[in-house]
Chain A
Amino acid sequence: MSNLNLNVNGTVHSVDVTDDTPLLWVLRDTLGLIGTKYGCGIGECGACTVLRNGVAVKSCRLPLKSVGTAKITTIEGLATSGKLTAVQQAWCKLDVAQCGYCQGGQILCATALLTATPKPTDQDIDEAMSGNFCRCATYTRVRQAIHAAAGSTPAISP
């Protein structure tokens, strides 16, 4: 067991868990931040994506002790003062989600992409989003929403 300080969504939490516990389960079971989802546990699906210092990482295989003092942002911490980000707004407006289970991870991944590449091409989107699959296959609208959030002209159906 280790006692560690964890900086999540701007708040430092003191947590006491077994050393091998991945960040995912500390977020979900210890801190109650259930927006980060369990999908596969092997880093294949992307449902557990969080931002570590602004970079998208998969939390299901990230041992807590390797997080250190990094700033973790979960889907709950993306909107500040109740105002949705441009990415979240685009997701709502274009009605991207079907079941919605993967979408927190998709949104965080898209956020990291747009931070690094403000006007991504379709190829940029393919590369950046390839680690997050969607079982409902909402890819058509995910792509549209990323373009919309980037301020490009999205190909919205009439």
Chain B
Amino acid sequence: MSSASPSPAPTLDRRSFLKVSALAGGGLLVGTYFRFGSSTAMAQTLPAASGTFNPNVFISIAPSGAVTLIAPNSEMGQGAKTALPMIIAEELDVSWDKVTITQGDLNPAYGRQSAVGSGSTPGNYGPLRQAGATARAMLIEAAAQTWNVPARDCTTENGTVIHQASGRRLTYGELAAKAATLPVPTDVALKDPKDFKLLGTRVPGVDNEKIVTGQALYGIDQRLPGMVYAAYVKCPVFGGKAGDANLDEVKKLPGVLDAFVLNGITGLTSGVAVVADSTWHAFKAAEKLKVQWDQGPGVTQSSVDMAKQAESLGKAAPAPALPSGVKAVEAAYHYPFLAHATLEPQNCTALFKGGVMEMWCPSQVPGSGQRLVTQGLGLAAHDVVVHVTRLGGGFGRRGSNEFSLEVATIAKKMEGTPVKLTWSREHDFAHDNYRSNGWHFLQGGVDGAGQLVALHDSFVKMTGGPGDMAGGGFPFNAVPGSQVQSSKLTGSVPTGYWRAPGDNGNTWATQSFVDELAHAAGRDPLDFTLGLLAAVPGADSPGGPAGGRGGRGGGFAPPKMVTVLKLATEKAGWGKKLPRGQGQGLAVTHTNNAYVAIVADVTVSPQGVLKIQKLTAAVDAGQIINLSSAEAQVQGAMLDGLSAAWFQKITIEGGAAAQANFNDYPVLRMENSPPAVEVHFIKSLAPPTGLGEPGLPAAAPAVCNAIFAATGKRIRTLPFTDTDLKWA
């Protein structure tokens, strides 16, 4: 990352910005944050020395042959810092081991920099292929002019242009200076995906060596000369405001430099800031704060009351009466609030100097953090320079950026002094944007032939935030006349995006209920699910999107779901006769355009101790970019889904979160992790989907369905630990 020490003014040629604008067909370039003049703050840029070829903002090729590529999106473990430059390198045709990757700071010239919705890869795939292919075409043109031959007679290989007929070769480094003088073509040919050499292979993460040696990478690791350490304490009751506080007393505590109340700033939740000479002193002093909180009306909220309200709202929308001869199956499912609990707590570092706010932000959406700061503090966008750090976990939490405005507000008061704000773990649990709770009151109708002929869901969740049910999604789109009715609870509990929003809870409820319906129909769950998929409109159009949604992600192609379901069940050996206490379960999801089927193999001891023995996933995510991280994402997402479903809940008491740390919000550990976790990808040349989220939603229902097969016990409330699984 850049430091705050004085740096020479950037020499990046403004012409290159005009080039990228042309490259992207306009609209991509709306400005630049690179400051010129007296400010010492500036965004990370590519090397731009004389003779260097910078065909666009993503690529720099030096005369030495050194290739530097920008990773435009923040890295939180999803692999974007490796995968996105791989896309450029594939089209540019350079050896991966010769490439250096630089994390891009916030800069509109980079295009889509938000790392949410499993969108980094699909959102950047086209533009980054274009960026690489354009540079390659210019290098070929430079060689063709040098040799006075037609460009079409030249080809490339690992960073070298080759004239096939004569065997002449020039490296990209040798061609850089000449290529830099050429006009940028607008219509370059992209590779045929079947010719990809790098995409689809296993490439280790570009920061692996730094991670295993403890190098500074994360927001919380930022250190600047003269830096001070801040804590910011907000009312535990959601919507509460800070009044007077024992500031004089707190200012006398060891290491405390300042303490002040912050109120009335647009977008900032009011609270009390403590600034100290170390994180420890800031935390200790924050614990000694006594604040007169105006708790507001939110103080009466509780999870117990919400459950009562949800039941009355949910049952106010009953299912229509079923025809005679149709068996009714009814079930109520409930999932709780969840915290994101990124292992790196929320934090941010800022320095306000010379009218410029320079920030180091661990953010999934750095642009929205910048907007919060400009709006809250009345600064112009070009006066808020945002460096993007590595993120110690995201899971959707770092799509909201309140920590940016908190630290910027403190830093503005402490002009000239760098400030690092760190949330304590307790504060992080108390002030999350939680995954909404949810209730599903489901009714299905099974006829005498074992067919599902009616399906009704009355769904209740908190108002605001994501997670609404897609009425047209699977399995509702398989049943003519099916209905989803939605009702909302009101309150001030903040809810937000949590890995695979909506699907992370709703898929558990609906895929568990499909299993219930299969058993009620006396049919094998695989056979039953295949039957439902065959009934979805468009089921016979291979690969083409059918109407409706199969979860978050637009068009739903039933044949693709059939393919992953058949593959997962084949690999898992579906249909084994198992003794009591052992079971298999399956579930499917269509999330962020990817198709995922999961089979779980579990054992449950007579005393009710659950052990997940194996997870087998089959995934159609289109073209795989980096096989290593793709596999890791699906493995991790499945286990993350199980960690939440097995152990975790946030309960609201007195308008505040009742859980404060990991001792009462357990995380899945090594001993609970299945000994075998298999991921099988469908080979595909279709454009890639993202993979940060799709692996998550079907894991919990697959395990619950396996638990039912093993014990006859149906889990209808999360977490699993709320259900006694003892069966003998």
Contact = CB atoms under 8 A, between A and B. Distances in A.
A16 to B, nearest CB: 12
A41 interface: yes
A133 B280 CA distance: 23
Contacts of B679: 157
Q: Most chain-B Cβ atoms within 10 A of its Cβ — which of A41, A88, A134? A: A134
A25 B670 contact: no
Nearest to B392: A101
A100 B204 contact: no
A33 B214 contact: yes
Interface string A13-27: 000011011100100
Contacts of B668: 133, 137, 139
Contact of B279 (A28, A91, A139): A28
A95 B77 contact: no
Contacts of A93: 204
Nearest to B637: A137
Contacts of A45: 343, 662, 667
Nearest to A41: B425
B670 A139 contact: yes
At the interface, is chain A mostly helix, strand, loop or mixed? loop
A20 to B, nearest CB: 8
Q: Most chain-B Cβ atoms within 10 A of its Cβ — which of A30, A41, A101, A126? A: A101
A8 interface: no
B35 to A, nearest CB: 28
Interface in B52-84: 75-79
Contact of B425 (A35, A40, A127): A40
Contact of A137 (B213, B284, B635): B635
A135 B78 contact: no
A116 interface: no
B90 to A, nearest CB: 19
A32 interface: yes
A142 B663 CA distance: 23
Contacts of B675: 122
B393 A88 contact: no
A130 B212 CA distance: 20
B344 interface: yes
Contacts of A12: none
A76 B209 CA distance: 11
B410 interface: no
B32 interface: no
A40 B662 contact: yes
B152 interface: no
B673 to A, nearest CB: 4
B344 A101 contact: yes
B211 interface: yes
Interface residues of A, number: 62
Given A34-B214, A35-B213, A130-B671, A91 B208 contact: yes
Interface stretch (B101-109, B582-590, B624-632, B709-717): B624-632
Contact of B669 (A21, A28, A130): A130
A78 interface: yes
Interface in B331-373: 341-345
Contacts, number: 187
Interface residues of B, number: 68
A95 B662 CA distance: 27
A127 B77 CA distance: 26
B217 A100 contact: yes
Nearest to A104: B214
B215 A98 contact: no
Given A25-B278, A88-B212, A37 B344 contact: yes
Contacts of B390: 99-100
B116 to A, nearest CB: 15
A100 B215 CA distance: 11
Interface in A28-83: 28-30, 32-42, 44-45, 47, 74-76, 78-79
Contact of A100 (B255, B342, B392, B633): B392
A43 to B, nearest CB: 9
B661 A101 contact: no
B219 to A, nearest CB: 11
Given A28-B279, A35-B213, A101-B392, A139 B673 contact: yes
Given A22-B280, A45-B662, A102 B343 contact: yes
A104 B220 CA distance: 15
A99 B391 contact: yes
Contact of A29 (B254, B278, B424): B278
Given A84-B213, A92-B209, A99 B344 contact: yes
Given A34-B214, A95-B202, A95-B628, A42 B209 contact: no
A67 B424 CA distance: 24
A61 to B, nearest CB: 12
A139 B675 CA distance: 9
B636 interface: yes
Interface of A: 17-18, 20-22, 25, 28-30, 32-42, 44-45, 47, 74-76, 78-79, 84, 88, 91-93, 95, 97-104, 107, 122, 125-127, 129-130, 132-143, 157
16 contacts: A29-B280, A37-B218, A79-B213, A95-B202, A97-B205, A97-B211, A99-B342, A100-B77, A100-B392, A103-B211, A126-B671, A134-B343, A136-B77, A136-B393, A138-B632, A139-B668
